[in-house]
Each structure stands twice: as C-alpha cells, then as structure tokens.
Amino acid sequence: MPFEIIRNDITTMDVDAIVNAANTALAPGGGVCGAIFHGAGWNEMQRACRAIGHCDCGKAVLTEGFALPARYVIHTPGPIWQGGNQHEAQLLRSCYLSSLQLAKKHKCKSIAFPLISSGIYGYPKAEALRIAVQAIRDFLAQNDMQVFLAVFDRNAVLLSEKRYQQIQQYIDDHYAEQMFYHARMETDYLFRQKQMREQQDLQSEQEFLPSAPSEDAFHPFSAPTASDASSASVSTFPAPSAKPKKRSLKDLVSRLDDTFSQMLLRLIDEKGMTDVEVYKRANLDRKLFSKIRKSSYNPSKQTAIALAIALRLNLDETKDLLGRAGYALSHSSKFDVIIEYFITEQIYDIDEINQALFSFEQKTLGA
C-alpha cells in the first residue's frame, strides 16, 4: 500500500495506529506527545504507559488508543540531536522500523507517523525527513500497509535550496510565460473579432447606399475592404478558422489504438519490470493496480502520471500514455509544469517528486 505525506493533526486521524514521539520514561510531554495524551485521555494513557514503565531509544511499545480515533498508539523514543556523531541516524531509522514491525504484528493496515525527533529534540528537519522516507520505503518494499507522515505545516517538508530554486525557475520560465502567451492570444483574438464585426457593419451599411458611385469612391483613400482589414491586423496569429466538422462516434472509435491498460502492460513488458515493482514505485495500492489492468478502468490523472514515473518514461512517452486515458500536460497548470520538470531532468524518485508537489501546494502522486 502507498505512502503519503499529509498536512494534518495526527490525533484526529482515523487509522489503525498512530505513533507517539515519546520519551524513554513514557511520561507525558509537550508537542505531539502531549497532544496524544490529551486526545487519548490523560489518566488512561498515563496508567497504560506506567504499566510498561520504560522504552529504549529506537524501540517501540504499544498501548490502546482509548479516546483517540486510532485503535492503537505506538510509542517510540527518538534520539536527541547531538551533531550526528552519536548514532542518531541509526536510532531514528530504528524508530520507524520498530514501529512498523509492531503495527504489522498487531495486524494494522494503516499507520500515521509524526516527523520523529524534529521538534524539541532538534533533529534537522531535512535529514529527519530523508531518514523517515527511506525507512518507510524499505518496509513497504516487502510489506503492504497504508503509511502516512503527518505534519502540521508545509515548512516541515523542506526541499534543498538548490532543488527548490530549480523548480521555481522552471515554473517561471514555462508556467508564467505560457499564461502570458494565452492572455496575449486571447486579447488578439478579441481585437480581431471586433475588427471583423466593424467590417461587417460597414458592409451592411453599404448595401443601403445608392448604386451610383459616391465621391468617396474616387478618393485616393477609399474605404477599407474585408481583405484590407485582414491584412491590417498587427497580430501574427491566424484568423479563427471555420468550425471543423464533427466526427461521428463511429469515426472516433475506429481510430482508437491501444487502451491505457493495454499500453501500460506493453510498457511493463518492454521495460522488463514486474507488476509489483511498478505499483510500488508508483506509490499505488495493489488492489487499485489490479483494477487498472482491466481495459475498462480509467485511472485518475495523478495515478496515470505516477505510473509513467514508475516506468521512467520520457516526456513524449508520458504524453502518449496520458493521452490513452484522456489527459494531457498543460503549461497552464503548475502541477503539470512541475511534473514536466522532473521528467525532463530524468528524476523518477516519486518521494522526491511528491515532496516538491507538497512544497508547492499541489496534489501528490499515487496513494
């Protein structure tokens, strides 16, 4: 099952288990820990934790969720940041893996984590996120579980300054430019339409004039004709053409090639990949992928793009695959421009792409 970074209060999430960034004494604390104790019921949670007594850093223990929507709370003490030379990375990774194994033991199908140790314990957020994502991905490579990483604000998910600037520059060069292009094209179209209406009005008036030539007819600057009006426009865009004849449904159907599902399966074979490898790399649920294999199922645009990323398709191949599902990439969509940036740069790590989408307040892929 997929992994998703979301902006949410972990104490309100309806999942099988939530994870508490605990202390080794399992005592009530501040931040996420205090919120979980409060949401569960202070006295009930304190009694349950006192009965366990202690938990080592990097390990995990489980209690009931009590008044929380979650059935269980998994308590895991994270490491305090001491510069990175006191095995902090190994201990933090162990927090996630120990919690996931405990959730699996209790047959949990869904679990939500906070970004462990990134609060008062001082772990650098970018490094804490990297370790969290890698540990969760390593677990999901061999197991099925819906995993959430719940953060309070988007600043908790930090791209590197270099990557953020590269994406922002690509957006500026393509998204903003394309919006200006469309605005200019629309303005020119309206100008041309106004000009044509004026010419039609002029021609209508001339129909009621006497047939004898007027003085103006011999003037060196005679009234403009329709062809003159057309050539006088300052725009380089072509005039609106006649409305094309609609094709019948029979014509459309007869021109269809592979369906989305047929092309997807063909690409999987061509790339020498397995179904499991593809849906895990696409951050998709196995059951959803099974539906997509059926030729009658049409995926969402986010799902179709996730599969293109999993297959490491180039931009032309991606557009072709999306077209089979009735979608396209557009420079008038910031989401599409960000996706195009990653494909153009041949970056196919769906977690990195999702972190970028999350940072730019766009929908993420998969899940």
Q: What is the CATH number of the domain that holds 71?
A: 3.40.220.10
- Both 298 and 154 in one domain: the answer is no
- Both 284 and 176 in one domain: the answer is yes
For residue 332, tell me if it sits in a domain.
yes
Q: Which of 141, 158, 175 is the last residue of a domain?
A: 158
For residue 144, tell me if it sits in a domain.
yes
- Both 130 and 177 in one domain: the answer is no
For residue 240, tell me if it sits in a domain.
no
- Cα→Cα distances 294→45, 80, 261, 274, 320, Å: 47, 49, 6, 16, 19
For residue 236, tell me if it sits in a domain.
no
Number of residues written out for the chain: 367
What is the span of the domain harbouring residue 92?
Answer: 3-158
- Both 171 and 132 in one domain: the answer is no
What would the pLDDT profile of 147-193 be if each residue is shown by its tens digit?
999 987 666 666 777 888 899 999 999 885 555 555 555 555 555 66
Query: How many of the other CB atoms lie within 10 Å of CB of 69?
Result: 12
- Both 91 and 175 in one domain: the answer is no
Residues 6+ apart with CB under 8 A from 117: 21, 78, 79, 80, 81, 88, 92, 95, 123, 128
**What b-and-e string marks burial along 3-12, b requiring 16 or more CB atoms within 10 Å of the CB?**
bbbeeeebbe
φ, ψ dihedrals at 76, nearest 5°: -140, 120
Assign 3-state DSSP to the chain and report helix, strand, coil percentages, each to 5: 50, 10, 40
- Both 307 and 292 in one domain: the answer is yes
| Average pLDDT for 99-120 | 97
Q: For residue 37, give both structure tokens.
A: 């104790």
* For residue 212, pLDDT beyond 50: no
- Both 176 and 312 in one domain: the answer is yes
Tally of domains within the chain = 2
| Average pLDDT for 72-95 | 97
pLDDT band at 221 (very low <50, low <70, confident <90, very high): very low
DSSP-assigned beta bridge partners for residue 113 = 149
* For residue 246, pLDDT beyond 60: no
Q: For residue 314, give both structure tokens.
A: 């180039």
| Strand, coil or helix: 147 | strand
Report how far residue 54's alpha carbon sits from residue 74's, in angstroms, rounded to the nearest whole number: 13
Least confident of 19-33, 240-254, 336-350: 240-254
For residue 234, tell me if it sits in a domain.
no
pLDDT of residue 251: 44
Q: Which of 158, 183, 201 is the last residue of a domain?
A: 158
Q: What percentage of the chain exceeds 70 in pLDDT?
A: 75
Query: How many of the other CB atoms lie within 10 Å of CB of 13?
Result: 18
Question: What rounded mean pLDDT belongs to the chain?
Answer: 83
115, 129 in Cβ contact below 8 A? Answer: yes
Report how far residue 236's alpha carbon sits from residue 203's, in angstroms, rounded to the nearest whole number: 25
Helix residue ranges, H only, 152-259: 161-171, 177-206, 226-232, 249-254
* For residue 89, pLDDT beyond 60: yes
- Both 259 and 183 in one domain: the answer is yes
DSSP strand pairing (61-64 vs 72-77): antiparallel
- Both 166 and 270 in one domain: the answer is yes
pLDDT band at 235 (very low <50, low <70, confident <90, very high): very low
For residue 220, tell me if it sits in a domain.
no
78, 117 in Cβ contact below 8 A? Answer: yes
Q: For residue 52, give both structure tokens.
A: 């366990």
φ, ψ dihedrals at 61, nearest 5°: -130, 165
Q: Which residue has the tokens 């929507």?
A: 69
For residue 198, tell me if it sits in a domain.
no
- Both 178 and 97 in one domain: the answer is no
Residue 36: closest CA among 115, 104, 114: 114
Q: Which of 108, 142, 158 is the last residue of a domain?
A: 158
φ, ψ dihedrals at 113, nearest 5°: -110, 150
- Both 43 and 84 in one domain: the answer is yes
pLDDT of residue 204: 53
What would the pLDDT profile of 329-357 be if each residue is shown by its tens digit?
999 999 999 999 999 999 999 999 999 99
For residue 343, tell me if it sits in a domain.
yes
pLDDT of residue 340: 97
Residues 6+ apart with CB under 8 A from 49: 26, 27, 63, 75
Q: Number of helices (H) and strands (E), helices first, in the chain?
A: 15, 6
pLDDT band at 233 (very low <50, low <70, confident <90, very high): very low
pLDDT of residue 338: 97
205, 198 in Cβ contact below 8 A? Answer: no
- Both 269 and 342 in one domain: the answer is yes
